[in-house]
């Protein structure tokens, strides 16, 4: 009879169960929830299991079925109605996010997320931009996920309609940059609502995708008085972004499977999704050192049973 000590698993040597996630952020109405739903649907069509977590305690409608809904833990309406808190909508939202990150909140979330192999989760975040640009709520959230073995990609969603002139592009880019610097995780910027742009606007947008920002600002035909006044500052900021190639955008047309696939591939590459796919856990039996018939593991090559 073999003792239990003879059964060993090499899993810890040759396989790492990784979990992957995207933190989907961006200004209000930029298309975060729609992006999540489109990716999940694409996952279903292509045989890939993508879950969504609603992290917006004020969300009223989204078209997907969430794996976890933060509103089951805390709701913005309840916080605003609580007499002892007296918060408005924005303060209330910050309170909700802080509540999620406190001990009870994170314990709840960890339990809800479970511990599935090869998790791929999209966190659909609220649209209040200050949560990402200068508060540390999201940074702490990312740290929590990392400590739970998630490889995290920050996805910053921007409406392509705002990228129609140099100044707006610069403003959007600085926000994206601020999020990128703050979170310190792999980062991809996605331009949404490409399906709504007409042909001329789409052509114009081409030059913003791999931008020579300095050139874009020079091409500005009708600069406003404000833009004229702050031209030097604008150029200086543009140079920072341009010189360091800090901000790039991936366009997304949710009506095109190819476009969704492109976005997903870029993000996969950023968080190295799928690179461990061919590595599998194998169990094997260590030979009984007292049994002369058994080959010694140290004497020759090992055979793995499939």
Ligand X SMILES: Nc1nc2c(ncn2[C@@H]2O[C@H](COP(=O)(O)OP(=O)(O)OP(=O)(O)O)[C@@H](O)[C@H]2O)c(=O)[nH]1
Which positions touch Mg ion (CB under 5 A)?
A: 32-33
Length of the chain: 306
Q: Does 34 bind ligand X (CB under 6 A)?
A: yes
- Name residues contacting ligand X, limited to 169-208 (CB under 6 A): 192-193, 195-196
Q: Decide whether 19 or 32 has the Cβ nearer to ligand X.
A: 32
What tokens does 177 get?
Answer: 């940059």
Residue 172, binding choice from ligand X, Mg ion, none, Cβ under 5 to 8 Å by partner class: none
Residue 20 phi/psi, 5-degree rounding, is -125, 145
First to last CA, the chain: 23
User: How many residues at the interface with ligand X, by CB under 6 A?
Assistant: 15
Report the alpha-carbon distance of residue 263 to residue 253 in Å, rounded.
10
Q: Among Mg ion, ligand X, none, what binds residue 192 when CB lies within 5 to 8 Å by partner kind?
A: ligand X
195 interacts with, out of Mg ion, ligand X, none, CB within 5 to 8 A per kind: ligand X
Listed in sequence order, the residues at least 6 apart from 274 whose beta carbon sits closer than 8 Å to its beta carbon are: 268
| Residue 34 binds: one of ligand X, Mg ion, none (C-beta under 5 to 8 A by kind) | ligand X
Quote the Cα angle for 236-173-239, to 5°. Answer: 20
Considering only residues 43, 57, 127, 166, which one is a binding residue for ligand X as defined by CB under 6 A? 127
Output 92 or 127, the one with its CB closest to ligand X: 127
* Least spacing, CB of residue 35 vs ligand X, in Å: 7
Q: Rg of the chain's alpha carbons, rounded to an integer?
A: 24
**Backbone φ and ψ of 50, nearest 5°:** -115, 125
CA distance 172 to 89: 24
* CA–CA distance, 254 with 75 (Å, rounded to integer): 30
Binding residues among 208-237 for ligand X as defined by CB under 6 A: none
Rank residues 31 and 172 by Cβ distance to ligand X and give the closer one. 31
> Residue 31, interface with ligand X (CB under 6 A)?
yes
Q: Running DSSP on this structure, what letter comes out for residue 67?
A: S
Pick the closer one to Mg ion by CB: 85 or 196.
196
Identify which of residues 196 and 236 has a Cβ nearer to ligand X in the complex: 196
Asked whether 69 and 52 are in contact (CB, 8 A), the reply is: no
Q: Which stretch binds ligand X (CB under 6 A): 28-36, 47-55, 90-98, 265-273?
A: 28-36
């Amino acid at each position: 009879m073999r003792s239990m000590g003879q059964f060993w698993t090499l899993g810890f040597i040759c396989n790492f169960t990784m979990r992957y996630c995207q933190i989907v952020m961006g200004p209000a109405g930029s298309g975060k929830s729609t992006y999540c739903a489109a990716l999940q649907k694409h996952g279903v069509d292509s045989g890939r299991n993508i879950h969504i977590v609603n992290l917006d305690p004020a969300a009223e409608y989204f078209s997907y079925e969430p794996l976890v809904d933060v509103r089951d833990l805390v709701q913005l309406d309840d916080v605003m109605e609580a007499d002892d808190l007296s918060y408005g909508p924005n303060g209330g939202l910050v309170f909700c996010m802080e509540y999620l990150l406190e001990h009870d909140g994170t314990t709840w979330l960890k339990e809800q997320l479970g511990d599935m192999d090869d998790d791929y989760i999209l966190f659909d975040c609220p649209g209040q931009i200050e949560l990402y640009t200068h508060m540390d709520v999201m940074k702490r959230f990312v740290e929590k996920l990392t400590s739970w073995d998630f490889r995290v990609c920050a996805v910053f969603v921007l409406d392509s309609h705002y990228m129609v002139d140099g100044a707006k592009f610069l403003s959007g880019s600085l926000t994206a940059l601020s999020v990128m610097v703050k979170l310190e995780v792999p980062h991809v910027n996605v331009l949404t609502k490409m399906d709504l742009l007409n042909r001329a606007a789409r052509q114009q947008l081409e030059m913003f995708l791999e931008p020579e920002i300095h050139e874009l600002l020079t091409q500005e035909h009708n600069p406003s008085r404000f833009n004229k006044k702050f031209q030097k500052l604008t150029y200086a900021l543009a140079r920072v972004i341009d010189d360091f190639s800090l901000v790039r955008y991936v366009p997304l047309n949710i009506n095109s499977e190819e476009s969704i696939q492109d976005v997903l591939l870029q993000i996969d590459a950023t968080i190295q999704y799928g690179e461990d796919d061919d590595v599998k856990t194998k169990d094997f039996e260590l030979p009984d050192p007292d049994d002369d018939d058994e080959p010694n593991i140290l004497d020759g090559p090992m055979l793995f049973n499939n």
